[in-house]
């Protein structure tokens, strides 16, 4: 039981780091695009219904970033994840394959529930690559905990 709490705490810390990085990127975009405070708040409300990033989950922050990119924001240095050559469909297949093994019965429902809770997204196929990496990390954390609890 204690390991499960520690794992959840670790995942929460990782999630919070991702959120903070996304919020920082949004604030940089606001400055670089020259948005006034009123324009910025209006933009946030029109996308998410919330006027502050601190009340948004990762999925909402991702939507805000997508709009800021569409408005012309170009980060100076791309994040490592964005520099990787990847195949999103391949990542989804890998996650689904391992989720069935790691999560067991009702793995589809459990995976969908995690994605909904973490990102506010109804289906894994709508996740960004960054979100898929987070889902993969969640599955690996469960697998590592099970390996640590083996009796031998």
pLDDT in tens, the chain (152 residues): 555 555 555 556 667 788 888 999 999 999 998 989 999 999 999 999 998 999 998 889 999 999 999 889 988 765 555 444 457 888 898 899 999 988 989 999 999 999 999 999 999 999 888 899 899 999 988 888 887 877 76
In terms of domains, do 102 and 66 share one?
Answer: no
pLDDT (0 to 100) of residue 88:
83
Which of 56, 76, 96 is a domain's end point? 76
Q: How many domains does the chain have?
A: 2
* 70 and 91 fall within a common domain: no
The reply to whether 93 and 123 lie within a common domain is: yes
Shortest CA distance to 97 belongs to which of 120, 129, 124, 58?
124
Q: Domain limits at 68?
A: 2-76
Indicate whether 60 and 104 sit together in one domain: no
Q: Which pLDDT score is estimated for 24? A: 92
Least Cα distance to 53 among 70, 67, 33 occurs for: 67
Whole-number Å distance between alpha carbons of 58 and 22 = 8
pTM over 0.75? The answer is no
Are residues 87 and 138 both part of a single domain?
yes
Give yes or no: residues 13 and 69 share one domain.
yes
């Amino acid at each position: 039981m204690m390991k499960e709490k520690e794992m959840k705490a670790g995942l929460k810390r990782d999630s919070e780091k991702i959120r903070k990085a996304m919020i920082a990127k949004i604030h940089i975009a606001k400055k670089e695009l020259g948005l006034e405070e009123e324009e910025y708040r209006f933009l946030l409300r029109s996308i998410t219904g919330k006027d502050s990033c601190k009340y948004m989950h990762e999925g909402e922050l991702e939507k805000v970033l997508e709009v800021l990119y569409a408005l012309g924001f170009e980060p100076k240095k791309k994040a490592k994840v964005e520099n990787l050559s990847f195949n999103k469909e391949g990542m989804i297949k890998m996650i689904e394959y391992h989720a069935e093994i790691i999560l067991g019965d009702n793995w589809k429902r459990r995976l969908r529930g995690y994605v909904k809770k973490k990102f506010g997204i109804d289906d894994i196929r709508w996740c960004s690559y960054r979100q898929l990496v987070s889902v993969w990390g969640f599955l690996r954390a469960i697998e590592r905990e099970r390996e640590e609890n083996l009796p031998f």
